[in-house]
């Protein structure tokens, strides 16, 4: 089958995902038009502030996708995914810092301002290469992947599961936060990186650049969705759900459960890292608070609100909860954490399948992956008519 | 893409000799000697604590005996192999409580049990070949779940779940199947279907069935072994065994 043919079959079987991809396409077209072509005086004009907000939500959507892939389908509840997001963000931040060049406050062509301030004479070895975009790009994926690989290899091989694993991921993120707060780590301490100037030669303060970043983010989110979907629809995806349902049975059938978990975890970390890398140039800052444990917990809430184990539901949850957050933190800043907590309790009690679960009760065709209805009926006539040699 | 299932010769007998297992002085097995021929369907009965489960544990590598020997064919010394190695050598075990992948369909459950390379990277690109599809179709037929092939496993009845799990074991092409209390908790109709299923499997596999349900044993058994206090008390067809005065005394008469 051609790629296009395969894509259209995949979309037909996945109405929720089709809606998501259509919305992303609409955003990628409409937002640039409304921001660039519609004059600022018109009520239809989209401000740069709103544009940045939409880009930010899409990055969160990607992070939620990464968490849903491992939590919804494999039962691995990571409370440390913000760490991978932040690492990707720091990799991008390092590139952006190197791009500032002599335009910093201290005018040092090589060293970022905070290093000059700390009286450092030369660039630490781990900053080498970050002046090249391709190198930074590789690091955005490789650093989260390496951390996830080492962590996952140790944890899954020792058969750490459930709440213990969740606590370990939380501790990992917390430890990284403490480390990145230290000035002598070489990552700008508690100020992190900011005052970025440009990316690939384009001014980050220009609306054009921001529009392009938004379109790239939309494309990255769409590609991530399709990649997750492809994994879940493969036999490996079925093994992953099998592990969630009955881990020991999967082992007994000869599946190396730890290696499945490990590769899925690494892939998920890479997605989170890329999301973080796209986030940083749009919001213009990265600092150690991105590693904060509460951030990782929020991601889990997004996924739970949207609908665990549905992928598109995770994106939906991320956007809706963050929209609510933007609204609340403007109107009632101190109430937000209570509202978030209440939301999680309410969803857990009354909407165990999230908003997607609610929608699919209204429209059964929005079936979720946990209970794929009649998946094989339309394409497995061969087996049904097979002889019965065994008798 | 995938290696074919191993050529199983289906000519291995299970020979247990003088097996003794003690737990804190209690002899779970006490010099148990038992031979099951290739292609045989053997039922094992006995009161609680007679050593039925311990015997299965020894055969599948879960428990090591203090004394004795256990061979599968002439080349496989079961006492030197680990649990997965024994599974690979062609001995499958069905535990009492059905376990399968509840959120997958019946078809998908069987698909995952297919013999073959089970690595992540292979599974990522794996597609069912026509022979594999046909094989799954055959097993669906054997376990009587063809009509339920697209149903999610969690929606199956208790009996259907037991059959599905037996089907998953059969997909792995074992030579010898150990089945522990297959009809516990089943309706009479389900029990009857299970008897048919086990009889149909007996043509291609050796089977050892541990069961309490006497009517069920009568309906499938050719040879019955009665265990008592870790030893074989009697062996023979159902009538011989039921008329054996020692058996009546310890088990059937009670």
A274 three-state secondary structure: helix
A236 vs B123, B140, B152: nearest CB: B123
Query: What integer best gives the mean pLDDT of chain A?
Result: 89
**Could you give the number of structural domains in chain B?**
2
Cβ neighbours around A146 below 10 Å, total: 14
Strand locations in A255-300 (E) = 285-286
Taking contacts as CB-CB distances below 8 angstroms, the residues of chain B near A229 are none
Residue B6 lies inside a defined structural domain of this protein: no
Residue B7 lies inside a defined structural domain of this protein: no
Per the model's pLDDT, the better-predicted residue between A84 and B6 turns out to be A84
Model confidence band, residue A6 (pLDDT cutoffs 50, 70, 90): confident
Residues A298-319 pLDDT 10s: 999 999 999 999 999 999 999 9
Name A107's bridge partners. none
pLDDT at residue A379, as a whole number = 31
Cα gap B172→B156, rounded to integer Å: 22
Q: Is B164 on the interface with A (CB under 8 A)?
A: no
Per the model's pLDDT, the better-predicted residue between A259 and A366 turns out to be A259
Q: What share of chain A is helix, strand, coil (3-state, %, to 5)?
A: 75, 0, 25
Asked if B86 and B155 sit in the same domain, the reply is no
Asked if B221 and B183 sit in the same domain, the reply is yes
Cα gap A72→B236, rounded to integer Å: 53
Q: Which of B124, B148, B177 to mutate to test the interface with A (most CBs of A within 10 A)?
A: B124
Which residue has 């590609």 as its token pair? Answer: A223
Residues A314-354 pLDDT 10s: 999 999 999 999 988 888 888 888 888 898 899 888 888 89
Asked if B86 and B17 sit in the same domain, the reply is yes
Residues A91-114 pLDDT 10s: 999 999 999 999 999 999 999 999
Note whether B136 and B111 are within 8 A (CB). yes
Could you tell me the two tokens for A276?
Answer: 């973080």
Residue A380 lies inside a defined structural domain of this protein: no
How many interchain CB pairs under 8 A, A with B? Answer: 130
Which residue has 């080349």 as its token pair? Answer: B75
B124 vs A234, A382, A387: nearest CB: A234
Range of the domain at A263: 9-370
Q: Cα–Cα distances in Å, from A192 out to A89, A186, A275, A359, A385? A: 11, 10, 18, 41, 65
The whole-angstrom distance between residue A330's C-alpha and the CA centroid of its chain comes to 25
Cα gap B10→A1, rounded to integer Å: 41
pTM of the model: 0.85
Range of the domain at B112: 98-173
pLDDT at residue B244, as a whole number = 87
Residue A255 lies inside a defined structural domain of this protein: yes
Percent of chain A residues past pLDDT 90, beyond the cut: 73
A245 vs B101, B121, B172: nearest CB: B101
Taking contacts as CB-CB distances below 8 angstroms, the residues of chain A near B118 are 239, 253-256
**Could you give the number of structural domains in chain A?**
1
Residue B251 has pLDDT above 80, yes or no: no
Residue A3 lies inside a defined structural domain of this protein: no
DSSP labels, A308-376: TT-SHHHHHHHHHHHHHHHHHHHH-GGGHHHHHHHHHHHHHHH-TTHHHHHHHHH-TTS--GGG-TTSS
Q: Specify the CATH number for the domain of residue A234.
A: 1.10.3470
Asked if B83 and B201 sit in the same domain, the reply is yes
Asked if B86 and B146 sit in the same domain, the reply is no
B146 vs A231, A244, A384: nearest CB: A384
Residue B106 lies inside a defined structural domain of this protein: yes
Residue A370 has pLDDT above 50, yes or no: no
Model confidence band, residue A390 (pLDDT cutoffs 50, 70, 90): very low
Q: Which of B138, B173, B208 corresponds to the end of one domain?
A: B173
Note whether A344 and A304 are within 8 A (CB). yes
Which range has the worst mean pLDDT, A186-195, B11-20, B244-253?
Answer: B244-253
Percent of chain B residues past pLDDT 90, beyond the cut: 46
Residues A180-225 pLDDT 10s: 999 999 999 999 999 999 999 999 999 999 999 999 999 999 999 9
Residue B165 has pLDDT above 70, yes or no: yes
Residue A300 lies inside a defined structural domain of this protein: yes
Q: Which of B158, B173, B188 corresponds to the end of one domain?
A: B173
Interchain contact, B105 vs A376, CB within 8 Å:
yes
Q: Which of B122, B145, B173 corresponds to the end of one domain?
A: B173
Asked if B215 and B168 sit in the same domain, the reply is no
């Amino acid at each position: 089958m051609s790629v296009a043919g395969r894509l259209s079959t995949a979309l037909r079987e996945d109405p929720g995902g089709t809606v998501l991809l259509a919305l992303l396409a609409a955003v990628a077209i409409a937002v640039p038009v409304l921001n660039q072509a519609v004059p600022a005086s018109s009520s239809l004009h989209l401000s740069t502030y709103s544009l940045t907000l939409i880009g930010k939500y899409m990055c969160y959507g990607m992070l939620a996708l990464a968490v849903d892939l491992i939590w919804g389908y494999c039962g691995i509840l990571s409370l440390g995914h913000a760490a991978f997001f932040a690492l990707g963000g720091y990799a991008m931040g390092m590139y952006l810092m190197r791009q500032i060049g002599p335009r910093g406050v201290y005018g040092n062509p090589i060293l970022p301002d905070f290093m000059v301030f700390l009286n450092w004479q030369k660039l630490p070895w781990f900053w080498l290469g970050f002046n090249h975009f391709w190198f930074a790009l590789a690091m955005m994926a490789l650093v989260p992947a390496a951390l996830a690989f080492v962590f996952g290899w140790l944890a899954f091989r020792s058969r750490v599961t459930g709440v213990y694993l969740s606590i370990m991921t939380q501790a990992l993120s917390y430890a990284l936060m403490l480390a990145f707060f230290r000035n002598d780590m070489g990552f700008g301490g508690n100020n992190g990186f900011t005052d970025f100037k440009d990316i690939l030669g384009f001014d980050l303060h220009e609306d054009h650049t921001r529009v392009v970043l938004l379109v790239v983010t939309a494309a990255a989110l769409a590609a991530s969705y399709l990649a997750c979907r492809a994994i879940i629809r493969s036999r490996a995806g079925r093994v992953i759900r099998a592990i969630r349902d009955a881990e020991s049975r999967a082992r007994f059938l000869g599946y190396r459960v730890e290696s499945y978990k490990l590769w899925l975890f690494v892939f998920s970390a890479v997605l989170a890292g890329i999301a973080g890398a796209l986030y940083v140039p749009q919001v213009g800052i990265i600092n150690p608070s991105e590693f904060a444990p509460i951030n990782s917990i929020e991601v889990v809430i997004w996924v739970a609100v949207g609908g665990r184990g549905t992928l598109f539901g995770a994106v939906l949850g991320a956007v809706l909860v963050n929209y609510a957050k933007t609204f609340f933190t403007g109107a009632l800043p101190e109430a937000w954490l209570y509202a978030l907590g209440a939301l999680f309790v309410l969803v857990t009690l009354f909407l165990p399948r999230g908003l997607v679960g609610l929608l699919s009760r209204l429209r059964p065709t929005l079936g979720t992956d946990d209970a794929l209805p009649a998946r094989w009926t339309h394409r497995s006539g061969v087996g049904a008519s097979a002889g019965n040699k065994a008798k | 893409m995938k290696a074919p299932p191993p050529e199983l010769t289906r000519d291995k007998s299970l020979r247990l000799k003088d097996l003794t297992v003690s737990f804190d002085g209690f002899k779970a097995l006490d010099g148990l000697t038992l031979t099951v021929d290739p292609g045989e369907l053997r039922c094992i009965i006995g009161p609680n604590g007679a050593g039925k489960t311990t015997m299965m544990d020894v055969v599948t590598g879960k428990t090591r005996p203090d004394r004795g020997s256990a061979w599968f064919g002439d080349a496989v010394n079961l006492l030197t192999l680990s649990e997965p190695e024994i599974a690979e050598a062609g001995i499958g075990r069905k535990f009492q409580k059905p376990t399968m992948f509840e959120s997958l369909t019946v078809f998908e459950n069987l698909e995952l049990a297919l013999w073959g390379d089970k690595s992540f990277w292979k599974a990522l690109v794996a597609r069912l070949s026509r022979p594999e599809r046909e094989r799954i179709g055959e097993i669906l037929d054997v376990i009587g779940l063809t009509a339920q092939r697209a149903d999610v496993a969690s929606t199956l009845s208790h009996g259907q779940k037991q059959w599905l799990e037996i089907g998953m074991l059969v997909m792995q092409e074992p030579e010898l199947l150990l089945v522990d209390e297959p009809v516990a908790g089943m309706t009479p109709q389900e029990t009857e279907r299970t008897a048919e299923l086990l009889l149909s499997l007996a043509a291609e596999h050796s089977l050892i069935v541990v069961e309490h349900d006497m009517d069920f044993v009568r309906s499938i058994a050719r040879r019955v072994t009665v265990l008592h206090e870790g030893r074989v008390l009697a062996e023979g067809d159902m009538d011989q065994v039921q008329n054996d005065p020692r058996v009546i005394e310890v088990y059937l008469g009670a």
